[in-house]
């Protein structure tokens, strides 16, 4: 669905999600998943997209990639390089997906083919994106493994996925995602299944490659510690819409939305031996969002107004955005 305001702030942005809503058909009715999503990513920027499981992070990424299963209704626009890709045909998306927008998924073992070697899979990707011989594709695959700093690449290229560690498999997925030099890389919790040491290495790798290739990155995570490591700006999602957006330093030092405050308070502090704080309750199930502000059942500041009226997004003088009646 074309939006008349789609060019409102799309100039110069690689990605501009403008008042985007998504509903998916379940049975005879449509269930609202995302509502009025609004954010942008600049060229060469790493944007953090933060929230608990069920807040709409992955659904936003899948919407951008046109990978939503089932019958859907959408509103608003998703502008990529000035074009509303919500209107893109399957053929156009086949060209965009993998070439201009790439994605790294959480669990590489489910994304890699278990019966093909790493070299065969990487070569396939290079041959799919450019008309080159199998020999040249294999050479490019080897270079890609070197780029993502896999030890002994000449040996690893002949391995099957199960013969590699989790960290190595994720490096292979990063190599695949960057094979076509995309303008936008979507990283969907790429370090969740890894131990802390390997996680730090993968984060450093993504940060280094992003600077080297000047790729824009949408970094999806539930971990604010990760956001502090790799992002300068972040959007906080809750119940399928943005509740706060701003510079990471400002979000950490002065959270304006009670949900952002709760996420930060639940982070462990090494210097203190106190019980971890927690946000009471759970994220409501999709389609069962409460009236008014969706966060009000879990919010310590909630008033009657919060329970009955949905707050509107406010933009402050410093560019911060927050969707809360208290501000």
Q: How many C-beta atoms surround the C-beta of residue 89 within 10 A?
A: 9
Read off the pLDDT of residues 153-209 as tens digits, 9 standing for 90 and up. 999 999 999 999 989 999 999 999 998 889 999 999 988 878 888 889 999 999 999
CA distances from 160 to 65, 119, 126, 135, 145 (A): 27, 9, 18, 19, 14
- Domain boundary (128, 160, 179) is at 179
Same domain flag for 305 and 212? yes
Read off the pLDDT of residues 187-199 as tens digits, 9 standing for 90 and up. 999 888 788 888 8
Same domain flag for 96 and 198? yes
Same domain flag for 51 and 189? yes
- Domain boundary (146, 179, 212) is at 179
**How many independent structural domains does the chain possess?**
2
CATH of the domain at 252: 3.40.50.300
Tokens 């390997």 appear where?
Answer: 198
Same domain flag for 253 and 239? yes
Q: What is the pLDDT of residue 6?
A: 40
- Domain boundary (150, 179, 208) is at 179
Q: Which of 185, 161, 158, 183 is nearest to 172 (CA)?
A: 161
pLDDT category, 1, cuts 50, 70, 90? very low
Q: In degrees, to the nearest 5, what angle opens at C-alpha 173 toward C-alphas 263 and 127?
A: 145
Same domain flag for 90 and 211? yes
Same domain flag for 250 and 194? yes
Kindly write down the DSSP assignment for every residue of 1-41, as one continuous string.
---TTTTSS-TTEEEEEEEEEEEEEETTEEEEEEEEEEEEE
CA distance 97 to 66: 9
Which residues lie closer than 8 Å to 80 by C-beta, 6 or more apart? Answer: 14, 15, 16, 64, 96, 100, 101, 184
Which residues form the domain of 115? 106-179
Q: Which of 30, 31, 32, 29 is nearest to 21 (CA)?
A: 32
Same domain flag for 135 and 271? no
Same domain flag for 153 and 287? no
Is position 152 within any domain?
yes
Give the global pTM: 0.90
Is position 8 within any domain?
no
Read off the pLDDT of residues 224-278 as tens digits, 9 standing for 90 and up. 888 998 999 999 999 999 999 999 999 999 999 999 999 998 887 766 666 778 8
Is position 27 within any domain?
yes
Q: What is the pLDDT of residue 275?
A: 73
């Amino acid at each position: 669905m074309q939006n008349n305001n789609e060019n409102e702030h799309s100039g110069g942005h690689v990605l501009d999600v403008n008042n985007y809503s998504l509903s998916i058909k379940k049975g005879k009715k449509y269930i609202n998943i995302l509502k009025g999503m609004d954010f942008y990513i600049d060229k060469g920027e790493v944007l953090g997209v933060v929230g608990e499981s069920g807040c709409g992070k992955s659904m936003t990424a899948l919407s951008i990639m046109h990978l939503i299963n089932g019958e859907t209704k959408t509103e608003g626009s998703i502008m990529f390089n000035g074009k509303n890709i919500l209107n893109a045909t399957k053929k156009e998306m086949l060209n965009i997906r993998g070439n201009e927008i790439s994605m790294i998924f959480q669990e590489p073992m489910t994304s890699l083919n278990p019966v093909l070697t790493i070299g065969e899979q990487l070569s396939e990707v290079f041959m799919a994106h450019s008309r080159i011989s199998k020999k040249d594709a294999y050479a490019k695959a080897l270079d890609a493994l070197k780029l993502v700093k896999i030890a002994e690449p000449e040996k690893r290229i002949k391995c099957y996925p199960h013969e590699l560690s989790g960290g190595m498999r994720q490096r292979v997925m990063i190599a695949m995602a960057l094979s076509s030099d995309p303008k936008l890389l979507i990283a969907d919790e790429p370090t969740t299944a890894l131990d802390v040491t390997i996680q730090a290495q993968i984060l450093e790798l993504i940060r280094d490659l992003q600077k080297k290739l000047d790729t824009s990155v949408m970094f999806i995570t539930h971990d604010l510690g990760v956001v502090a490591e790799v992002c300068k700006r972040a959007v906080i999602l809750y119940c399928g819409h943005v509740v706060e957006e701003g510079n990471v330093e400002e979000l950490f030092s002065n959270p304006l939305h009670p949900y952002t405050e709760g996420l930060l308070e639940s982070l462990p502090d090494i210097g203190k031996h106190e019980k971890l704080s927690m946000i009471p309750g759970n994220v409501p199930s999709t389609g069962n969002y409460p009236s008014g502000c969706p966060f009000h059942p879990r919010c310590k500041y909630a008033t009657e107004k919060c329970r009955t009226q949905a707050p509107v997004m406010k933009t402050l003088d410093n560019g911060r955005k927050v969707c809360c009646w208290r501000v």
